[in-house]
Amino acid sequence: MPRKTIQPSNKIEYLSILDVDGNVDAALDPKLDPAELHTVFRGMLLARRLDERLLRLQRQGRIGTFGPGMGQEAASLGPAVAMKKNDWFVPSFREGAAMLWRGWPIEKIILWWGGNEFGAATPEGQNDLPICVPVSSQCLHATGIAWGCKYKKDPSVTVCFVGDGGTSEGDFHEALNFACSHTLPAVFVIQNNHWAISLPREMQSKSATLAQKCIAYGCDGIQVDGNDILAMIVASRDALAKARSGGGPTLIEAVTYRLAMHTTADDPKKYRTEEEVACWLPRDPLIRFEKYMRAKHGLDDAGMKQLEEEVAAEIQAAVARAEAYQSDPMDSFHHTFAEMPASLAAQSREFEEYMAELKADAAAAAQPAAERQMAES
């Protein structure tokens, strides 16, 4: 009747391929196609510049509250690069880089942060869910999709993103437990950016790594340098291949850092030190990737200037399209019920009358004074 250690037998690996100076570990180099690497670099640059533009638009009162993904571009872009078009993408709210890679028009992203529901409508033909704000609720949607795919023998793998804070939610546990128990084709990517608004990672969980939570669920897990685009692509490719071949889920913990504020409604100086942020700046995934592209793949000042100009023009055109988008306020009644309940139908009619009155008032105000006097006499 011994007392002995029987579990866990797993060991959690850590993967990093590109160091902070942009040097690649030769033994781990996935030797990606240079043309693809250029496209990925452009994708990361586009995401960063879009974030910067969205911050300015918010400060100018041209969009609503915005949550930047600055510093986390490799963590969200890596899995997207590894995915096939028909795989299911289930984001949280800090995966702008992956959304752009998946083909979301930039104006939709701008409209979403501007509070326009049109921005949440997935473009035709994309197996993507929209941005999800209720923390971790998307994990259950992901498990449901993966279960549906397995049931229908659809070869798509579902890739779900969640934050470090999200791992404390019941939804995360239920989703992982079910997905692993049923060996579903899913990959869960934790973006451990060290903060859940003002709550630090150390207070989120006593686990030494978030990846090791996989042990309890009975799936593989790996901790990855989330600011290293190559490591994120490699870990995601492995996890996707395993899921696609019937091996079940993988939990990837991407260790990254939120360089900006939680959202534009937050002041991070109230709860974290400037030294901490300064320590993460050299590990910025974009700077590291640029160094690597310059050293190994012929990126130079002229190439960089051209990319910056292209990306700026693309964003500028999208801002113009987003701001020219005419939405119909009646739309707010149209996308919740297939058949509108009587109470909502009454509100809809009342709102329609109100809008008609506003229109009539505006037309009257636009009428020249003389004409108005004639009409009144």
Ligand X SMILES: Cc1ncc(C[n+]2csc(CCOP(=O)(O)OP(=O)(O)O)c2C)c(N)n1
**Contacting residues toward ligand X, per CB under 6 A:** 94, 133-135, 163-166, 191, 193, 195-197, 258, 262
CB-nearest residue to Mg ion: 163
Question: Smaller CB distance to ligand X: residue 79 or 165?
Answer: 165
Q: State yes or no: residue 128 binds Mg ion (CB under 5 A).
A: no
Q: Which is nearer to ligand X, 72 or 236 (CB)?
A: 72
Q: Minimum Å distance from CB 292 to Mg ion? A: 26
Per CB under 5 A, contacts with Mg ion among 137-166 are 163-165
Which of 178, 179, 180, 141 lies closest to 161 in space, CA to CA? 141
Binding partner of 135, given ligand X, Mg ion, none, CB within 5-8 angstroms per partner class? ligand X
- Let me know if 262 is a catalytic residue: yes
Catalytic residue (one of 53, 94, 102, 262):
262
| Smallest distance, ligand X to C-beta of residue 171, A | 8
258 is catalytic: yes
The distance of closest approach from Cβ of residue 165 to ligand X in the complex, given in angstroms and rounded to an integer, is 3
Q: Residue 351: what are its φ and ψ, rounded to 5°?
A: -65, -40
149/156 Cα distance (integer angstroms): 7
Query: Which of ligand X, Mg ion, none binds 345 (CB below 5-8 Å, type-dependent)?
Result: none
Query: Which partner in ligand X, Mg ion, none is near 197 (CB below 5 to 8 A by kind)?
Result: ligand X
Query: What minimum distance in Å lies between the beta carbon of 252 and Mg ion?
Result: 15
Which residue, 66 or 195, is less far from ligand X as judged by CB?
Answer: 195
Active-site residue flag, 141? no
Size of the site for Mg ion (CB under 5 A): 5
CA 63/CA 145 separation, integer angstroms: 32
- In the complex with ligand X, the residue whose CB is nearer, 92 or 212, is 92
Chosen from ligand X, Mg ion, none, partner binding at 34 (C-beta under 5 to 8 Å by type): none
Q: How many residues does the chain have?
A: 377
* Catalytic residue of the set 48, 94, 102, 258: 258
Q: Which is nearer to ligand X, 185 or 226 (CB)?
A: 226
Binding-site partner at residue 166 among ligand X, Mg ion, none, CB < 5 to 8 Å by type: ligand X
| Adjacency order of strands within the sheet including 13-15 | 13-15, 220-225, 250-255, 186-192, 158-163, 88-90
Q: Does position 193 bind Mg ion by CB under 5 A?
A: yes
* Residue 94 site contact among Mg ion, ligand X, none (CB < 5 to 8 Å, cut-off depends on kind): ligand X
Closer CB to ligand X, 91 or 248, in the complex: 91
> What are the residues binding Mg ion (CB under 5 A)?
163-165, 193, 196
- The set of catalytic residues is 258, 262, 271
